[in-house]
Chain A
Amino acid sequence: MLEIRGLSKRFGGVVATDDVTLEVARDEVHALIGPNGAGKTTIVAQLSGSLSPDAGEIIFLGANLTHAPQHVRVRAGLARSYQITSIFKRFTVLDNLALAVQARTGSSLSFWRPVATEQALFDAARAIAADIGLGERVDVIAGTLAHGEQRALEVGLALATRPKLVLLDEPMAGMGPEESQRMIELIGRTRSRVAVLLVEHDMDAVFRLADRISVLVNGRLITTGTPAEVRANAEVRRAYLGDEGAARD
C-alpha cells in the first residue's frame, strides 16, 4: 500500500537517507530499526510531508505523494505520531481527540455552528479514548497526564484521523515496562484495521509486533525480512543487533 522508491535526502555533506526503497503491505506491521542516527526519523518526516526528499518517490495507494502537502497525505490516510510527545497540552483529552476527528469529518471552514453541539464528533473521540485506555480520563487537561498516558494520546491523535497507514515514531520512548506492554497491546489491537510503519528501539516490542523488519544503517537499507530472517542476518548482527542479537540464540 505504501511504496518508497529510491528515496534520498542529504543535509549538507551528510546523507541522511540513501536511496531507500521499501514497501509496506496492507494490514502489515512493518518495523524500521537501526542504530541512533541511522535516519529513521528523517524517513518518517519525508513520508509525513514535513521534509521534502531530494530524490525518489513516495507512492501511497497508487497516488504519488512525494511532494504533497501534509494535510493531503493525512486525508489520503497516512498519519504519523511523534517521538517527542506533541499534543495539545492545554486542551482536554477529549478536545484533543475531537480535533483530530474533526479534521477528517466534514469541513472545518464552518464559522457559525458551535462545535460543542456536534455530538457525533465527541462520541467518536470518546470511542478512541476508550480504545487507547484513556476512557476514564477524557476530561483531564492533556498536559497533566502521566507520561505513559501522554504517549497513548500521542498515538491516539494519529489513529483518530482514521488512517489507513500510521507511522509510529518510537511510541515506546521513555516508557516503563508496564506502559510499554500497554502500548504493544494497543498497536496489536489496531493492526487489524490499519497498517503500521513502526520505528522503535525496543527490540522486544519490535520482534513481538512486526510482520517484517527493515534495517537502516547510515541512511541505507541493509535488509528487509521476517523477524526470523533479520535475526539470522549476519550483516544485521554485525551492524546493529550486536551482542543482544547473538545472545538470543
Chain B
Amino acid sequence: MKTAISLLAFAIAFPLAMQALDQPFYIGFGARVLIYAMAAASLNLVLGYGGMVSFGHAAFFGAGAYIVGILAVEGTRSAWIAWPLAVAVAALAALVIGAMSLRTRGVYFIMITLAFAQMLYYIFVSLKAYGGDDGLSLPGRSTVGLGLELRNDLTWYYVVLALLAATLYLLHRLVHSRFGRVIEAIRENETRAAAIGYPVYGYKLACFVISGAIAGLAGALIANQSSYVSPSLLHWIQSGTLMIMVILGGVGRFWGGPIGAAALLALEETLSGSALLGDYALHWQLPVGAILLAIVLFAPQGIVGFFARRRHA
C-alpha cells in the first residue's frame, strides 16, 4: 500500500516537474513508460503468477494496437468504441491461442506461443490495405469527449496513468482472490492442484485471457501514444522486451512489471542519448545488455525482489 501510494505520487508529480523544468519531451516518455508498465504487468500475471512462460505476448499487445489503428483510418476514433473493442479482440485472440497452447507444457508452450505471435505478425506484414510492413499512421489520437483533449500530452499522460492505476488495482484484487491463489498453486504444483479438485486447464486459460485482454488495452494506448502502429509491435522482439521487463522488475512480484518497464525504458533512454556516452551512444544496446546481465546474476529476483529482501534483512 505504501509502495502504491508513493509510486502513484511520483507518477502524478513527474509530468508537472518536467513541465516546470521545461522538458516536455519527458511527459511523452513518461506516458510510454506507463503503457509498457501495463503490458509488462499483464505478462507478469501469466508468467509470474501463473508460471506460463508465454513468448507471444506481443500478439495481444499488437492486436489491440491494430484495432485502434484500423478503426481510426476507417473513421471511428471514439475511444469508447475503439478501446473496448481492442480489449475484446485481444481477449478473443488470447482465448484461441491459449486454448491450443495450454495443451502443451514447458519448452513446447514457449515455442507454440511464439509461433502464434509470429503468425499474427506475418498476417499484419502482408495486410497491404493497412500499411503492410510500413505500418499505419493514425489521423490522430482517439477522442473521448468529456472535455478531454488527448492531443494534449499532459492530458494524455494522466488518462494513461488513470487507466494503469485502475488496471493495477484490478490485478491486485485478482492475485489476492481465490482465483489468484489457485493460479499460484497451479504454478507451484500442477499435478497436486488437479488432485485436490481444480480443473487446471480452465484456470490457466482464464488467466491467459485476462492477461491478453489487459495487454490489448496497453496496445490500444500505444497506438495512440505515437499515432502510429506497425507490425513490429507484434514481432517476437516485442514479446522478448516485455519478458525482459518482467524479469528485470521481478517475476511474480506485484510491482515487477511496472518497475521493470520503467527501468528498461529509462536505461535505453539514458544510454541511447548522446549526453552520457557521446558517439558511443550508437552502441547503447551493449551497456544495456551488460546491466541486464548483472541484474540477472546479482538480483535473480529482479529489482523488486532485491529491495524486498533488503527490507526484510
Contact surface of A with B, Cβ cutoff 8 Å = 48, 50, 69-71, 74-75, 79-80, 82, 86-91, 95, 98-100, 102-104, 106-116, 118, 157-158, 160-161
With A108-B179, A111-B174 given, name 19 new contacts (CB 8 A): A50-B191, A71-B194, A71-B197, A71-B198, A82-B195, A86-B192, A99-B185, A102-B181, A103-B196, A106-B178, A107-B178, A109-B178, A109-B179, A110-B179, A112-B177, A113-B177, A114-B176, A115-B176, A115-B180
The contact sample of 5 A-B pairs, CB cut-off 8 A, is: A50-B195, A99-B182, A102-B181, A112-B173, A112-B174
Known: A79-B196, A103-B196, A108-B198. A114 touches B173 (CB 8 A): yes
> Is the CB–CB distance between A160 and B196 below 8 Å?
yes
B→A interface (CB under 8 Å):
173-174, 176-182, 184-185, 188-189, 191-199, 203, 206
- Per the bound structure, the CA–CA distance linking A171 and B193 in Å amounts to 19
Cross-chain contact B195 with A79 (CB below 8 angstroms) = yes
* Residues in A neighbouring B196, C-beta threshold 8 A: 74, 79, 99-100, 103, 157-158, 160-161
- Chain A's closest residue to B199 (CB) is A71
The CA-CA distance from A77 to B108 in the complex, in Å, is 34
**B198 A103 Cβ-Cβ under 8 A:** yes
Given contacts A69-B199, A75-B197, A103-B196, contact A86 B191 (CB under 8 A): yes
Residues of B within 8 A of A157 (CB): 192, 195-196
Q: Which residues of A contact B181 (CB under 8 A)?
A: 95, 98-99, 102, 108, 115
Measured in the bound complex, the distance between the Cα atoms of B181 and A90 in whole Å is: 12
A70-B195 in contact (CB<8A): yes
CB < 8 Å: which of B178, B182, B189, B197 contacts A87? B189
Among candidates B178, B195, B197, residue contacting A113 with C-beta atoms closer than 8 Å: B178
Report chain B residues within 8 Å CB of A158. Answer: 195-196
Q: Report chain A residues within 8 Å CB of B176.
A: 114-116
Is A110 a contact partner of B178 (Cβ separation < 8 A)?
yes
Q: From A86, A89, A104, give the contact of B195 (CB < 8 A).
A: A86
Is A88 a contact of B188 with CB atoms below 8 Å? yes
Q: For B184, list chain A residues within 8 Å (CB).
A: 91
Beta-carbon nearest neighbor of B183 in chain A: A108
Determine if A88 and B179 form an interchain contact, defined as CB atoms under 8 angstroms apart. no
Contacts of A118 in B (CB 8 A): 178
Instruction: Report which of B179, B197, B199 forms a contact with A104, defined as CB distance below 8 A.
Output: B197
Contact residues in B for A89 (Cβ distance below 8 Å): 188-189
- Chain B residues, Cβ within 8 Å of A110: 177-179
Contact check, A109 vs B195: say whether CB atoms are below 8 A apart.
Answer: no
Q: Write out the residue numbers on chain B whose beta carbons fall within 8 Å of the beta carbon of A74.
A: 195-197
Q: From the candidates B177, B191, B199, name the one contacting A111 in the complex (CB within 8 A).
A: B177
Contact at B182–A108, with CB atoms within 8 Å?
yes
**B158 CB to nearest chain A CB (Å):** 26
**CA of A80 to CA of B184, assembled, Å:** 21
Q: Please indicate the chain B residues that have their CB under 8 angstroms from the CB of A48 in the complex.
A: 195
Question: Are B177 and A115 touching (Cβ within 8 A)?
Answer: yes
Name the A residues within 8 Å of B191 (CB-CB): 50, 86
The chain A residue with its CB closest to the CB of B182 is A108
Instruction: Tell me the smallest distance from the CB of A94 to a CB of chain B, in Å.
Output: 12
Nearest A residue to B191 via CB reads A86
A100 to B185, CA, bound (A): 10
When the two chains form their complex, are residues B189 and A86 in contact, meaning their CB atoms are under 8 A apart?
Answer: yes
- Provide the bound-state CA to CA distance between A10 and B36, in Å: 52
Q: How far is the CB of B272 from chain A (nearest CB, A)?
A: 39
Q: How far is the CA of A88 from the CA of B188 in the complex (A)?
A: 6
A87–B179 CB distance below 8 A: no
Interchain CA distance A87-B188 in the complex, whole Å: 9
Give complex CA distance A70, B186 in Å.
Answer: 14
CB-CB < 8 A to A50: which residues of B?
Answer: 191, 194-195
List the 9 shortest-distance A-B pairs measured between CB atoms, nearest first.
A74-B197, A103-B197, A100-B196, A110-B178, A71-B199, A108-B178, A114-B176, A86-B192, A88-B188
In the complex, what residues of B have CB within 8 A of residue A106's CB? 178
